[in-house]
Amino acid sequence: MNCKKNEMDLLNKFREDSKVFGTNPRQSRQLNLEVLGLILAVLMNSLNPIQAAEKRPNILFIMADDHTSQTWGCYGSRLAKFADTPNIDRLASEGALLKHCFCVNSICVPSRASILTGQYSHLNGVRTLNDALDPKLDNVAKRMQAAGYQTSLIGKWHLKKAPSGFDYWNIIKGQGRYQQPILFEMNLDKPEVQKGKYCTDVFTDKALNWLGTRQTNKPFFLMLHFKATHEPWQFHPRHAKLYQNIDLPEPETLFSSTGPTNSRVPGWPLEILTERMLGRNDHGDGKLILKTDDPQSIRKATYQKFVKAFLRCGKAIDENIGRVLEYLDENNLANDTVVIYTSDQGYFLGEHNYFDKRFMLEESLRMPFVIRYPREIKAGTVLEDIILNVDFAPTFLDYAGMKTPSSMQGKSARKNLLGNTAPDWRKSMYYRYFENSLARPSHYGIRTHHHKLIYYDGIDSPSEAEKWEFYDLSKDPMETRNMYDKEDNQAIIRGLKLQLHRLQIQLKDSA
């Protein structure tokens, strides 16, 4: 009976929290229906929790920070054979790899908020790095919890206020640190220094401990969020010798220009990183030492040092994913657990002579994503559909037997992963980046399977034409030529502008 009482308490709390929605009668009616559905789900689960646990899979969501697809072996980029990620690759070969998974705002905090809420930034209010996620907002963890899942969050949170919807949490504040991280277990005022520990290892230790002590009569929903591979890429000393005597392949666009040709956007060139690495021992293997004053050679040296440190941080992630997969195997959980590994956005590794993210260009926009669920997903699946980070929450809820709430803007990709994509599945996606600076102006745009149109509303120019970029991804997948002014493209561009406007209305964004 205690179990039942706890679940009803949770449900009441959920109803209270959800009062921020449903401000008009239609929304209220919809919400009432959803709450009724939830009550039924909770009651069914509390009647026979063991049976329910057998029917519904565990969900293990592992996410890194900035771990871009160029450094995952299974994505086959120029760095694939150097990345050495057998455990991530194993998830892809035993499950599915998403080729066109995108974030709707390519920056850490907003992407995390969109994953939790299933909403775009303009609706959940987390538009920039400075915004906090309101704990009262509905989120996927609250729904999983109310439906009888045991929920847990370990590692990087980055949404400022205390997490809500988790039975257990143990997190770093803000960016935290790589070495000897400070964790906060269920209390943001009680720091615990992890002496002698490396962040990626200790987050995994905590996750395995939690798994070992969880309530086995309930399915679990565990979010394990690594801090790596975020700048400043402090790798573990055990990986210091990796790549020591080799030169990593450079991107084709390292010297083509700063940014795509004809773009009016300066972007974030590697020379900024050069200055940082000359002044600081960021990675733990010393400052950047230059033997030349030739600008091209300096850019090359910066690229090598930065990407090697990035890959070393990624290596620790792969090893720790291996530990988690081994735990699932040893405890006979692999068949009943949906395992996901993704990154909150992509990252430029010297492409266009950029580093960092924030742009709608491919390296930054793409979220690498692999998912394994042996009971449903055919091994070796490669999915071409456009999937967004706002789809993650509806997909988790679908696995847990729940419908997508009307407040969420994403859609479940569960059927897509079975090879049954609905005919009306999206053929285009809407993106919006809100932060604004001269080098990285705010912008929004649309991407289809073949084209991309971007409007830089943050550019201060009297000329409207200077604010647009258009790329034909079929002919120019590396986005090296802005073809907005080319006469042949005008019909396509007019069509894309129309679609863009429709998406803004549909998604309730008044750009």
Q: How many helices (H) and strands (E) does the chain have?
A: 15, 16
What is the rounded distance in angstroms from the CA atom of residue 298 to the CA atom of residue 290?
Answer: 7
Which amino acid is present at 446? I
Q: Does 66 bind Ca ion (CB under 5 A)?
A: yes
Which amino acid is present at 63? M
Which of residues 203 and 399 has its CB atom nearest to Ca ion in the complex? 203
CB 357 → Ca ion: shortest distance, Å? 7
Segment interacting with Ca ion (CB under 5 A) among 65-73, 163-171, 258-266, 447-455: 65-73
Q: Is 408 exposed, middle or buried (0-12, 13-18, 19+ CB in 10 A)?
A: buried
* Token digits of residue 80: 């694939």
Segment interacting with Ca ion (CB under 5 A) among 64-72, 257-265, 300-308, 367-375: 64-72
Q: Does 108 bind Ca ion (CB under 5 A)?
A: yes
CB 486 → Ca ion: shortest distance, Å? 34
As a whole number of angstroms, the longest Cα–Cα distance in the chain is 74
Size of the site for Ca ion (CB under 5 A): 4
What is the rounded distance in angstroms from the CA atom of residue 408 to the CA atom of residue 405?
Answer: 6
CB 376 → Ca ion: shortest distance, Å? 29
Give residues 316-345 in contact with Ca ion (rule: CB under 5 A).
344
What is the rounded distance in angstroms from the CA atom of residue 120 to the CA atom of residue 442?
Answer: 16
CB 204 → Ca ion: shortest distance, Å? 19
Nearest in space to 465 (alpha carbons), one of 452, 451, 480, 455: 455
What is the rounded distance in angstroms from the CA atom of residue 492 to the CA atom of residue 489?
Answer: 5
Segment interacting with Ca ion (CB under 5 A) among 108-116, 193-201, 261-269, 321-329: 108-116
Q: What residue is closest to Ca ion based on CB?
A: 108
Which of residues 7 and 66 has its CB atom nearest to Ca ion in the complex? 66
Segment interacting with Ca ion (CB under 5 A) among 88-96, 105-113, 298-306, 452-460: 105-113
Q: Does 363 bind Ca ion (CB under 5 A)?
A: no
- Residue bearing tokens 């915004």: 131
What is the rounded distance in angstroms from the CA atom of residue 16 to the CA atom of residue 20?
Answer: 9
CB 345 → Ca ion: shortest distance, Å? 5
Q: Does 65 bind Ca ion (CB under 5 A)?
A: yes
User: CA-CA-CA-CA torsion for 101, 104, 109, 115, nearest 10 degrees?
Assistant: -60
* Token digits of residue 264: 């009016």
Which of residues 388 and 402 has its CB atom nearest to Ca ion in the complex? 388
Which of residues 282 and 344 has its CB atom nearest to Ca ion in the complex? 344
- 3-class DSSP state for residue 222? strand
Q: Does 231 bind Ca ion (CB under 5 A)?
A: no
Which of residues 174 and 191 has its CB atom nearest to Ca ion in the complex? 174
Which of residues 173 and 426 has its CB atom nearest to Ca ion in the complex? 173
Which of residues 66 and 469 has its CB atom nearest to Ca ion in the complex? 66
Q: Does 469 bind Ca ion (CB under 5 A)?
A: no
What is the rounded distance in angstroms from the CA atom of residue 356 to the CA atom of residue 364?
Answer: 8
Is the CB of residue 72 less than 8 Å from the CB of residue 83? yes
CB 443 → Ca ion: shortest distance, Å? 18
- Can you give the binding site for Ca ion, defined by CB under 5 A? 65-66, 108, 344
